[in-house]
Amino acid sequence: MCYIGPGLATCPHCKGHLTDGHRCPRRRSLVFIEVGASFLVGGFAGLLLLAAFDPRGQVTDMDAVAFIAGAFAGVGINRFVRN
């Protein structure tokens, strides 16, 4: 049997340093799904806000801008909350 010094153990799943507070990182595919979902939800929230503040549709050509701005805001909020 080999002696493993303090702090030299590795996690059998992710091969990271095995410390007292170790948590394996989430799979990359789940992170992409979460970011994509927050992108879509934020985009639709941006469209809903545009519809709420402009009920008669006087502002034209703002749908794409509202969707993109809401999507990036949704992803930013998600990443801020997750980290």
Segment 57-78 mean pLDDT: 90
Query: What distance in Å separates the CA atoms of residue 6 and residue 78, rounded to the nearest whole number?
Result: 36
- In this structure, is residue 66 part of a structural domain? yes
The count of domains in the chain is 1
- In this structure, is residue 4 part of a structural domain? no
- In this structure, is residue 77 part of a structural domain? yes
- In this structure, is residue 48 part of a structural domain? yes
pLDDT tens, 1-44?
555 555 467 788 777 777 788 788 778 888 889 899 999 999 99
Give the list of residues 6+ apart from residue 49 with CB closer than 8 angstroms, or none: 66, 70
Give the list of residues 6+ apart from residue 67 with CB closer than 8 angstroms, or none: 43, 44, 46, 47
What pTM was estimated for this model as a whole?
0.67
State which residues form the domain around 74. 28-82
Give the list of residues 6+ apart from residue 75 with CB closer than 8 angstroms, or none: 35, 38, 39, 42
